[in-house]
Each structure stands twice: as structure tokens, then as C-alpha cells.
Amino acid sequence: SPIAEYLPSKLSVEESARLDDKMEALRDVFYHALFVKSQLNKIRNEQELLYGNDPRVSVSIFQPYDDVVNDVIGELENKIDECLDYRKKPLREILTTSARVPNKYASTVAEVNVLKGLIGEAYLPSPVTISGMTFEEFHYIGFALPSDSADIPPHSS
């Protein structure tokens, strides 16, 4: 096992395989959180260029988007910290079956939908309602913000 070669004490084959599996899973969770955070920052900066200069448009379109992005980035930073805390654990604790690798961010449908909406990949099937107007034969793909209702309303694009 690649990890076992760098450890001062020898691990059994089973322990070595378990450690490799956990470290690979941790790597995936960690890099996914870093990638999504970077992607959100980039897209937020693009949205700010489009909507941030006009005070009226900034308040009505960019600020609600920015608020949600900041919340999600905070959750991603917590996930990154959780991964780092896991990696700081003693090796024997990591090897126990009770030491679980943190779950990947956006592990629920709701979280995935929020991320898709923030990066401009939300899909809303027909009929689509925007500002009280219903469009029967149209679907929507683009930016969307979560709301208290079950639907994600279309947002800036």
C-alpha cells in the first residue's frame, strides 16, 4: 500500500487497505469542497461585475445572490476544517471503524439544487413561474436561489 510505505510502524494488510480507502475518500471530500468554493467565488465575481455597479440592480439581484453564496461558502469552509480535523487525528484513531470520513458537501438533493442554482445550472421544468407570471411551455436553466417553497425561483443570469 502506498501510505503504509511512509509510516514508521508496520500496518497489517487490512489496516493499510483501510487507511488507503479512508485517505482517498477524505481527499475526494476535501478537494470537492475546495473546488466548489473556488467555483462559487469565481462566479460570484462575474455576477458582481454584471450586477454590482448599479445600486438598484445590486440590491435587488446581486445582494440576495451574494448572501446565499456567502452562506454556502461558510458551509464549505466548515467542511474543509472538518476534513483537516479528521486528518489531524492519531493514526490508530483513523484506523478504527468508528472514525468516519466526513461526508461530501452537497450530499442531499436540496444542497445539490442550491449549488446548481448558484452556479447557473438550475433546471426548472415547465411550467415556470417568474414574478407571478406562468409560462406553460417553457423550462428554465440558469441561476436560481433557494426559497421557502419547494421550487427554486429563477434569478439573475
* Mean pLDDT for the chain overall: 85
Q: What are the b/e assignments for 78-89, b being 16+ CB within 10 Å?
A: ebbebbeebeee
Determine the length of the chain.
Answer: 157
| Residue 49 pLDDT | 92
Residues of the chain with pLDDT > 90, as a percent, come to: 43
User: pLDDT tens digits for 127-156?
Assistant: 888 778 888 988 889 898 887 544 445 554
pLDDT at residue 61 above 60?
A: yes
CB 72 within 8 A of CB 114: yes
Comparing C-alpha atoms, which of 123, 141, 122, 119 is closest to residue 72? 119
Give dist(CA 33, CA 3) in Å, integer.
23
The C-alpha cell at 134 is: 406562468
pLDDT band (50, 70, 90) for residue 91: confident
Residue that is written with C-alpha cell 470520513 in the block? 101
| Residue 7 pLDDT | 62
pLDDT at residue 80 above 70?
A: yes
Mean pLDDT value of segment 100-107: 90
Mean pLDDT value of segment 67-87: 95
| Residue 1 pLDDT | 47
State the pairing for strand pair 122-124/140-142: antiparallel
pLDDT band (50, 70, 90) for residue 39: very high
| Residue 73 pLDDT | 97
pTM confidence score? 0.81
